[in-house]
Structure 1
Amino acid sequence: MGNEVEAGIEVISRIKQMIEESGINQNSFYQTLRKEPLPREVLKEVFQQYFYYIRTFPQILAGLAARVDDEVIRLKSARTVVSELGDGRGDAHYVMFEKALKGIGVELDDYRTVQHAPEAENLVANLRRLFLEESPNYSIGAHYVIEEFGFPMIVNLYEGFRLYDGWDHEDFNYFYLHILIEANHVDWVHDALLSAAKDEASCEELLKGAGQVLDALNQFWAGLNRIATA
């Protein structure tokens, strides 16, 4: 058991290093968003793509629970899904994000009828593959990346949204909530990963999943920056 924990801790350390070396937490879109206000029509096009990501992810993640034998992994992934859907006490997080957008004068179209940018389609397709088709270990490695880079993402989006006029503080509950709970999400997937890291083959799959989702996410942010600067 001790060797398994050590292996999991090593995987987590390597994933954190991959995230740092990728530059995702300092990506060009964050810099563009925080530099100066963008036209509302550009914001709408940009965040149609982001909304597609956050709207579909809880559904995709929910599919993992039925695919694993390990009850710790099932529990931790299910807890994240419940959290993303409002924990039975509040709005789903994607609804909160729509309210944040409305606070700065942007209302999205129905994500089910919108033609999304190729980078957004690629990200969601990769998430579906990693979480629903590959070995579950791929998805756990991928999920660790998503939660680990989540806090810097929220901070950068929040700082960008603050550049616009007309919003009230309650409009931005999406950001305030995530600043508070993102550490919980990281803790849950941390536990799931430690439970998954049973041997060398498992660790390799965890790292492959992390690397593949990291590539798709970096392409996604580059796509958003392409739209924002066109």
Structure 2
Amino acid sequence: MQDTAIVDKIKQMVEDSGINDNEFYRTFKKEPLPLETVKEVFQQYYLYIRTFPQILSGLAPRVDDELIRLKLSRTVVSELGDGRGDPHYVMFEKALAGIGVELEDYRTVEHEPEAEALVASLRRLFLEESPNYAIGAHYVIEEFGFPMIVNLYEGFRLYSGWEHEDYNYFYLHILIEANHVDWIQEALLAAATDDASREELIKGASEVLDALNAFWAGLNRIATRQPVGAL
């Protein structure tokens, strides 16, 4: 596998996984959910987006290549508002507030097992495994990010009471997600130096896809009021 072949390989893995057209997206876009259910669902999603910049920032000291460190750091800075605006998790809080939902403190609330498992997988991949696992996983996270934002936006539009500025979380990500993909793609290509490194990159991509698909299935379980273990 040479040059951009690894990019094509991971893109195909994302496509084949079905994550871009998962059951939760279909449920969320079908009709408005009770706001209490919306709160339950996005309390889990918030754990993911709130902790990911923290986890990602811990990867930068673990890599040797300065280009890779730069690309990782740029993504963290972007996620935290780039020194010019709100961190993205704050923007998401405002999106929820626009439809009348206020989350509990993520540090004290009890989360569902799928959300806990996703964050645990991210901590392992980014902070314990070879950095190549994390770089492959990070590429997946950015690659599926644009379809995720579009699907969530289409669902949020079903609710009443919001003003356009409340949804800056979605508008911003629609504009910048391509930059995130470009940055991590450069890091991915820089990391793919030999067969062993490429194998680790693909392994990380595969493992995070499994965790993410389980996470979205868990959100659909909550949205459709099914008990734990029903899916």
**TM-score, normalised by the number of residues in structure 1:** 0.97
Alignment-derived partner of residue 150 in structure 2:
155
SS of match in other structure, 2:100? coil
CA deviation after TM superposition for structure 1 residue 7, in Å = 2.2
2:148, 2:136 → 1: CA distance? 18
What is the count of residue pairs matched by the alignment?
225
1:165, 1:65 → 2: CA distance? 41
Alignment-derived partner of residue 99 in structure 2:
104
SS of match in other structure, 1:102? helix
Query: Does 2:133 correspond to 1:138?
Result: yes
CA deviation after TM superposition for structure 1 residue 177, in Å = 0.2
Higher helix share: 1
1:40, 1:32 → 2: CA distance? 14
Query: Does 2:87 correspond to 1:92?
Result: yes
Provide Cα deviations, 1:181-214, integer angstroms capped at 9, x if missing partner. Answer: 0000000000000100000000000000000000
Alignment-derived partner of residue 50 in structure 2:
55
Q: Which runs of 5+ in 1 are unaligned?
A: 1-5
Alignment-derived partner of residue 208 in structure 2:
213
Q: Which 4+ stretches in 1 moved above 6 angstroms?
A: none
Alignment-derived partner of residue 109 in structure 2:
114
Alignment-derived partner of residue 81 in structure 1:
76
1:71, 1:8 → 2: CA distance? 19
Query: Does 2:159 correspond to 1:164?
Result: yes
SS of match in other structure, 1:108? coil
Query: Does 2:175 correspond to 1:176?
Result: no
Alignment-derived partner of residue 224 in structure 2:
229
Instruction: From 124, 128, 152, give the equivalent of 2:123.
Output: 128
Query: Does 2:11 correspond to 1:12?
Result: no
| 1:8 and 1:193 in contact (8 A); partners too | no
2:173, 2:127 → 1: CA distance? 26
Alignment-derived partner of residue 3 in structure 1:
none
SS of match in other structure, 2:158? coil
**TM-score, normalised by the number of residues in structure 2:** 0.97
Query: Does 2:60 correspond to 1:68?
Result: no
